[in-house]
Amino acid sequence: MLKPATVTELAKLLNFLGNEQRLNILKAITHEEKFAREISEEVGISRPLVNIYLKQFEKAGLVTGTNRVGEEPPYLKRYYKAVPFEFVLNLELISKLGDD
């Protein structure tokens, strides 16, 4: 996802990463993996919305999730951690983008 080939793909990427709530989720799991409830409490948004965003991040390859079994309910928790990435936007990149 971080290598857009067209103007449309670049616009979608910028729109996706330009969301303050999504950026706060990434920030929360940059250095330490956490499960959805922890993230929800830390960033102050609902757990269902956090789960939606985490699935989108996983699909984009920006976050990895690992299931773990615990001794207390909920017994199965999915822990998330951000995948390191770098994205550089400049005129050279834009000029090399293909047509849609």
Q: Do 17 and 23 form a contact (C-beta atoms < 8 A)?
A: yes
Predicted confidence at residue 93, as pLDDT, reads 92
pTM for the structure as a whole: 0.86
Mode of pairing for the β-strands spanning 63-69 and 76-82: antiparallel
Residues of the chain with pLDDT under 50: none
Predicted confidence at residue 74, as pLDDT, reads 79
Sequence ranges of the domains in the chain: 7-96
Residue 41 is which amino acid?
Answer: E
The CA distance from 56 to 93, in Å, is: 24
Fold of the CATH domain 7-96: Arc Repressor Mutant, subunit A (1.10.10)
Predicted confidence at residue 61, as pLDDT, reads 92
From residue 65, how far is each of 48, 54, 97 by CA, in Å? 16, 9, 31
